[in-house]
Amino acid sequence: MIAVGAVLAAFFVGLWAWARGQHIALKLLVLIGQISGLVAAGALVMTGIFSENDYTAHAVWATVLFIALATAVWFIGWAPIWHPDLPQKITYLAFAVCAVDVISIVARRHWLEWLAVGLLLCFVGAVALGTWSMTPSPSRVSRER
């Protein structure tokens, strides 16, 4: 969990690439999402340090993790609406992930937490692919010259 938290932190820091050259509203959405994502990454590390054997501490950090991730996904999910190079489908996935995440927090059902985690990982993958798709490939750059 500690290593995954470090990778998740790097992922959220890297999202600043979305904000370059964009208007202030998009920059704020990405920044709030990044801050929430960094809190979530820290909480993920803490859930790794406090395993389920220490239920009270683990439950506190798991709750912080799911709330921070829902917040991060919510704010980052709005960015593709205004960013011209990002796939709009990321927004739909973000809102579905948020819904499942919030339901898992409110309902306190352990199996819903695993569903939320799976969807959050799918969201990270979709964002990574969306970010990759907006990066110019070397073949495209050489043809444009």
- 135 against 118, higher pLDDT: 118
The residue to which tokens 């964002």 are assigned: 127
Six token digits for residue 107: 């309902």
Helix-, strand-, coil-residue percentages of the chain, each rounded to 5: 85, 0, 15
Task: Give 27 or 82, the one with higher predicted confidence.
Answer: 27
Dihedral sign for Cα atoms in the order 64, 12, 103, 77? positive
Summarize pLDDT for 45-96 with one digit per residue, the tens: 998 888 878 888 888 888 898 889 888 988 888 877 777 777 778 888 888 8
**Cut 0.85: pTM above it:** no
